[in-house]
Amino acid sequence: MKKLTHFFLIFVFCLSSLFVMSGCSQTYDQKELAIWFQENIIDEDLYISKTCTEKENASGGIDTVWQAHLKDLPEVSFELIDRERIQLFRSHEIVTTYHQEMGKYYSERFQNEYPAVFEGLTLGVPTDSDIPSVNGMYSSFSEIQTLCEKMEKFEAYLDQQPYPCLIRYGIAYQEPLTFIADNGGPSEEAFIDRQTYIFLENDDPQLKEDTLSSLLQEWSENSFANYALAYQIELESYPDELKKKKTESDQSSLTIVRSDETEIQYADLFLTRESDLSFGCFFEVLKRDGSYEVQGSASQFSFTATDGSRCAFSYSFQEACSPTSYNDWQYSKVFYYTKNDEKILLDHKPVIFQDLFQELTGDSYQLS
């Protein structure tokens, strides 16, 4: 018993020492905030309020917030925050909303001067970053270049301004047949949850070799090609461009593994970026197999499964439902398929997971 007590006291002492070394009692005063800002953001004189406010943050710690502005730009107010994080140990760090507020300030001025250029772009704040984002959504492959050129013009405008502003440029396809938004969540989160979403921050080292628009266009076109081929949609409109872009991407193709372990590789069929099998590619697999009674097209089809049941899939098969949690998201609709005319709910994405694929065909699939 004495040994257990001894070990317990040693454990408590070590744990207490770790808390001390982790800086759990550390806080920052106004002078330290000013030094941090001038060393990490911009070396300019600034005004920091004499009083502060406190509020709880997402980790359960306390944010101590001071209002501040650049001495020569009083019309743009931002926050300097002493953020207490509570994870294994307590710790403190300094964060600021400087870039968010400067992004709003510059985007409003830019829109007033060049309203046509900013049309189709929106300013948001990603949940995973203190950097604001300029987002654009395209409805077809041919619109990508124009969208990227608009972002390039805004970035050129920022380069001419006296004070820096970090921006994340994000682009996504509308995905009208396959995207289901979360149930009333922030529009920024609904935007970045699209499978075609790509982004580039304006301090990215790659911009020393390439222009913003050229990189965004290349990445967006590759993302669209991967998406369109994975879901077997939008293929008729852009066959040559998509084939060319596919050769430039690194997305692996599809292999079907039979129940007897025979493998069939389809070099022109691809899984989604989450390695799932879409409705459209499922249709192609069934059709090429030759042993299934398949009717319809990649976007809507029916077939007879190995157990004799008649199943139907369609990108239009979406069912309203009570808010259901998928990966910590809340969705108001989910996709479904029918089995002998009975609706069976799936997920918020139109994909066939491994267990369902095996149930319907007796086989499995994997990346090549």
Interval 27-57: pLDDT, tens: 889 999 999 999 999 999 999 999 999 999 8
**% of the chain surpassing 70 pLDDT:** 85
Q: How far apart are CA 291 and CA 221, in angstroms?
A: 36
pLDDT digit string (tens) for 289-300? 999 999 999 999
pLDDT of residue 9: 39
Tokens for 246?
């596919």
Q: Give 188-240 pLDDT, tens digit per residue.
A: 667 888 999 999 999 999 998 899 999 999 999 989 988 998 999 988 777 67
Q: What is the pLDDT of residues 76-123, one digit of tens each?
A: 999 999 999 887 788 889 999 999 999 999 999 999 999 999 988 999
187 Cβ neighbours under 8 A, 6+ residues apart: 122, 124
Task: Return the minimum-mean-pLDDT range out of 82-91, 186-195, 239-248, 257-266.
Answer: 239-248
Q: Are 257 and 366 in contact (CB under 8 A)?
A: yes
- What integer best gives the mean pLDDT of the chain? 86
